[in-house]
Structure 1
Amino acid sequence: MLPITIALLTLASQQPPTPTFHAHIQDREYVEVRYQGKEKQNAVGRFMTAYDISDPKKREETYKPYLHIIDPETGQAITKGAGGEFTHHRGIFIGWNKLTVNGKTYDRWHMTGGEQVVKEATANHSLSSLGQSAYILAPKIVWTGTTRDEILIEESRTMHFIPAPTGAFVQVDFTSALKAVGGDTVFDGDPEHAGLHFRPTDATDRANTVYLYPKADANAHKDRDYPWVGMTYTAEGNKYSIVMLSHPENPTGTAWSAYRNYGRFGAFYKTTIKKEETLKIQARFVVYKGELPSPETIQMLWNSYAKKRETLVASTRKAAEQPAPKK
């Protein structure tokens, strides 16, 4: 196991007397954000930082970092970890299956022949204009090439937990700054296997997944540049809804994979940057227990996040695509 530096930082000068959020660090395993409930601290997010390549099984379990979302009422993760259907799908995660550096292509979605390794992780909580909030910071995540000494990307990842809007129990801003240290880099692939995605637990009832799009007669297979997408799914008798708000500064021409019945959905950002340049990907995830709010409310959430004043003209709600019956 390679060493990882993990520290807890507190902004003492800004710390409120009774913080809404607390950060807890389990050395080399995860950084957890807990919400201060009426009687106890309840976990709402857990950033998985472990990295162990001592054997193939442990490598599979730890070859990429990801963010679990946790139901504070049950204490259970509502997102998927390693194993199960499509082991590489995990919580809120980022990757591209066709990452081309200096003309050579690497798969940093399925993690074939390389890893995303957290070298450092910190956490803090503070009081700002947004209210009481908490940060999980991973200032250095290295994306390795065919050897572990070959570094393709140096990533800085921030997960900012801020007070959730009415009806939601989690709101987190995800920011990834990806520096092309290995050479000129093409971020490519396809909507199913590239970009920033959310994957619910493997216990999801695939017959009850529903998507919401900000467009009339939406077709996620063909449409581009949705500002947001919502999804509702049921797992172990509980219904959850997720809104992913894409920041307007993300690359344009973005395709969305938002139709699978098992609930993995997200945005495929495709672009090219020069060596030493940085690609910045930003999105806000808002998580509800129960149904989604109205499309108009979601549009207001996006306007607030994007600092825009756009009007929602129409929306489309669709049941997830179900697999064809086996013959």
Structure 2
Amino acid sequence: MVADNKTVKKTDNQASIKPLIDITKSDMDKVNKLIIAMAGSDVEMIPEVSNHLISSGGKRLRPMLTLASARLFGYQGSGHIKLATAVEFMHTATLLHDDVVDDSDLRRGKSTARMIWGNEASVLVGDFLLGQAFKMMVEVNSMDALSVLANAAAIIAEGEVMQLAAAKHLTTTEDEYLKVINAKTAALFSAAAEVGPIIAGCGQQERQALKHYGTSLGLAFQLVDDALDYGGNSENLGKNTGDDFREGKITMPVILSYIRGDETEKKFWKQSLEEGKNDDDALAHAQKLMQQHHSLEDTIKAARHHGNEALKALDGLAPSKEKAALCEVIEFCISRVN
């Protein structure tokens, strides 16, 4: 639970996403109906692939951020429903594409779409969902909202390419990796939060507050995912534990462990991530080294830092149930690692 409006910190009570779910429930019911409608197609495979991932149990945090941020500023229209749905479609398309790039077999405890229908279908259905997302953005008739989300789509693609270029390269620095996740993950969180005040007719101050909130929340979220891949479980992570390791991804725990390791340890990391010698025994050794060098602990500290930045971004806003829910979801995202 967030104890005050200054610092995100651990408490005895598990933080909850429930306040955010409660305040967006009626709107999310509309979003879910629109998701079903817009994922439909006369081409039978499109709704099959779309619904496989859409119905797989994700919390739909990103569209809830759009809905809550619009209501935070008193928005009374219906445009936030289409924008929230567009945000979810952008996220779903990214997951479909990511699973192909990463050769992933499991997503949220289920076989990935690529394992059932193949890589080609996954990529093309992802493209279909992106097209539907932009159609809904245009229908809202807000050039500013369209600009923010279109820019996010381009940044996300850049982030994926940056991550692909960094894969298996142990020379990747902390700053370089933060740039990757800022683009790959935080950009959509940021856009999802910023379009709320945009359609509510707010000025730059409110827009910047929610933009910074979303960016910082997205960074915290991804850093926790980095730690969960080595110290969590598949239920919290939404994929197999150790997938990042097996795919040769250079994430924050790896970077910290490599920098802090001796020559023997550096050789192990090169063999595991650059040469692909990454069986279960190697994963166990990697986890041992991370524990030895406090790499997971420091990754969570970094996540908590960005969580605090997200909290500070909302400081100037008047108290409300929407603000309280947005504050609590920060600690919820970080506490997934507990």
What's the TM-score once normalised by structure 1's chain length? 0.29
Name the structure where strand makes up a greater proportion of residues: 1
Higher relative contact order (CA 8 A, sep 6+): 2
What's the TM-score once normalised by structure 2's chain length? 0.28
Name the structure where helix makes up a greater proportion of residues: 2
